Amino acid sequence: MSSSTSFEGYFNVIRNIIGAMHSLTGLQDVLDVVVTQSTRGLKAKGALLRILNKETNRFEVRAAAGLGQRYLNKGPVTTEKILSTLSEPGNVYIITDIWNAPRIEYPQQTWDEGIRMILDMPLAIDEHVTGLMRIYLTEQRELSDDELDFLKTIAMQCACVIERVHLIESQRAHFTTLATHMEKLSSLGRMAAGIAHEINNPLGGILLFSSNMVKKVPEGDPLEKGLKIIIRETQRCKAIIQGLLEFARHGKPQKAPANINDIVETALGIVENQFYLRHVTVKKELAQDMVKTLLDKNQIEQVVINLLLNALHAVEDHGRVTVSSSADLLHNKITVEIGDNGCGIPAENVKKIFEPFYTTGASGTGLGLSVSYGIIKNHEGDIDVFSEVAKGTRFTIQFPVLAENPTERMAHNENA
């Protein structure tokens, strides 16, 4: 690189690459800018940029400038071949002996293109090479330390661009998948509501007539057993239908100021008898300084009951269930935790438990936690689960402390 090359040119290259990084989101567009600007700024014949394909573990040509078509048709290069000759990813590798350099696969073709010097610049983040940019020069140049630093800066900026765009594309793919999943759930909800309404009336008729018939059958009659099975299974079907309707409704919460401790106490009172029959101990640790927030009492009570029953089914007789609450006035949050010392949930299943129809029990519809998740989200809250096989499970629910009007909320914050 001759002394006539101005530092201003290098700054322009870096500036344009950084500008592309902030204005473009498509990786290919950014790579095209990188090779074009680098070729122009370095007054080179051209540039070729390879990116590591993580699926094939090969470096593939992704962008080129100023080169013939045959350069663009070069096949992928194995990771071992690229990395074996890179002792330090942060260096610039200078090739002046076109004919004998092991890194040059086609010396005759390279010479015929008028290339007399090649610069290889690994693109690396934290010593991890994700790409390689090769600059082709038509004359041999002496590179000063300052010029080498500029080349390293270009390589670093290129690596940052690629890493950033990869992240954007990864997030975009994730959100696309999430949106598709949500649309499927929405469609499922609409379909479930339609099916539920169509089935609910016939089930009601079956239950009514079978209940009347079992009353008229003499005790011990062979028909009695069959009719009771019909009644039991019909009730089970109606429970599934009710779960589908609740899953599909997405009803808006009817919020009013409420103390979460009161809701927990009510829920515990409802399931108290079931815990007593199983000899399961309930340990309560409810915060004494609990503040009120806007909640739909009926919906949150439904969530707490569902989590308590899940805990009951997870523990053996004489097991233990813990229920606690706390208030974090500094962050305007209240928390409820329901834990057990039961069988726990395998790690691979933890992410599935909020999906509709997912259940590991012999009974149940698999809709309880899905409905609970929707209720908590409609309250602007969060629900998380922590579980370890053979040690137990803990559900944590957090709600924001919401006042009925902004003035009341400001007063609450000032008092806190």
Tell me how long the chain is.
416
388 or 159, higher pLDDT: 388
Give the chain's mean pLDDT.
80
C-alpha separations of 129 from 104, 161, 195, 345, 360 in Å: 19, 14, 55, 39, 44
Domain that holds residue 218: 173-249
C-alpha separations of 363 from 236, 239, 360, 371 in Å: 9, 11, 9, 17
Lowest mean pLDDT among 34-48, 100-114, 163-177, 253-267: 163-177
Q: Are 232 and 328 part of one and the same domain?
A: no
pLDDT exceeds cutoff 60 at 5: no
d(CA 364, CA 183): 25
109 or 280, higher pLDDT: 280
Q: Are 148 and 191 part of one and the same domain?
A: no
Residue 204 lies in a domain: yes
Mean pLDDT on 201-210: 85
Percent of the chain with pLDDT over 90: 20
pLDDT band with cut points at 50, 70 and 90 for residue 232: confident
Chain centroid, CA 39 distance in Å: 39
Mean pLDDT on 90-95: 81
Angle made by CA atoms 398, 268, 309, in degrees to the nearest 5: 80
- For residue 361, the 8-state DSSP code is S
Residue 2 lies in a domain: no
Q: Are 330 and 373 part of one and the same domain?
A: yes
* Burial of 406 per CB tally in 10 Å (0-12, 13-18, 19+): exposed
pLDDT band with cut points at 50, 70 and 90 for residue 233: confident
Residue 343 lies in a domain: yes
Q: Residue 222 is part of a domain; what is its CATH number? A: 1.10.287.130
The residues, ordered by sequence, that sit 6+ positions from 275 with a Cβ below 8 Å of its Cβ are 281, 282, 312, 321
Q: Are 111 and 211 part of one and the same domain?
A: no
The pLDDT of residue 416 is: 47
pLDDT exceeds cutoff 50 at 214: yes
Of 185, 214, 249, the residue that ends a domain is 249
Q: Are 117 and 91 part of one and the same domain?
A: yes
Q: Are 226 and 201 part of one and the same domain?
A: yes
pLDDT exceeds cutoff 60 at 363: no
Closest-CA residue to 42 (of 71, 12, 20, 19): 12
Model pTM?
Answer: 0.46
pLDDT exceeds cutoff 60 at 362: no
The pLDDT of residue 384 is: 93
Q: Are 162 and 192 part of one and the same domain?
A: no
pLDDT exceeds cutoff 50 at 408: no
CB atoms within 10 A of CB 312: 19
Three-state DSSP at 297 gives helix
pLDDT exceeds cutoff 90 at 120: no
pLDDT band with cut points at 50, 70 and 90 for residue 410: very low
Residue 21 lies in a domain: yes
Three-state DSSP at 380 gives coil
Mean pLDDT on 19-23: 64
Residue 213 lies in a domain: yes
Q: Are 182 and 268 part of one and the same domain?
A: no
412 or 144, higher pLDDT: 144
Residue 217 lies in a domain: yes
Q: Residue 302 is part of a domain; what is its CATH number? A: 3.30.565.10
pLDDT exceeds cutoff 50 at 300: yes
Tokens linked to 5: 């090359």
Q: Residue 64 is part of a domain; what is its CATH number? A: 3.30.450.40
Q: Are 365 and 289 part of one and the same domain?
A: yes
What is the number of domains present in the chain?
3
Residue 1 lies in a domain: no
Q: Are 52 and 140 part of one and the same domain?
A: yes
The pLDDT of residue 268 is: 93
Q: Are 115 and 211 part of one and the same domain?
A: no
What is the maximum span of the chain, computed from C-alpha positions, in angstroms?
111
Mean pLDDT on 165-191: 72
Phi and psi torsions of 381, nearest 5°: -105, -175
Of 249, 283, 298, the residue that ends a domain is 249
Of 249, 264, 284, the residue that ends a domain is 249
Lowest mean pLDDT among 155-159, 242-246, 259-263, 305-309: 242-246
Q: What is the DSSP string of 220-276?
A: T-HHHHHHHHHHHHHHHHHHHHHHHHHHHH-PPP--EEE-HHHHHHHHHHHHHHHHH
CB atoms within 10 A of CB 257: 13
Place of tokens 């290069």: 77
Q: Are 369 and 353 in contact (CB under 8 A)?
A: yes
Q: Are 161 and 150 in contact (CB under 8 A)?
A: no
pLDDT exceeds cutoff 70 at 84: no
Place of tokens 């290919």: 28
The residues, ordered by sequence, that sit 6+ positions from 232 with a Cβ below 8 Å of its Cβ are none
Q: What is the pLDDT of residues 368-378, one digit of tens each?
A: 787 788 889 88
Question: For the chain, how far is it from start to end, CA to CA, in angstroms?
Answer: 66
Q: Are 154 and 221 part of one and the same domain?
A: no
pLDDT exceeds cutoff 60 at 412: no
Lowest mean pLDDT among 48-62, 197-211, 394-408: 394-408
Residue 106 lies in a domain: yes
Phi and psi torsions of 337, nearest 5°: -125, 135
pLDDT exceeds cutoff 50 at 2: no
53 or 358, higher pLDDT: 53
d(CA 144, CA 1): 8
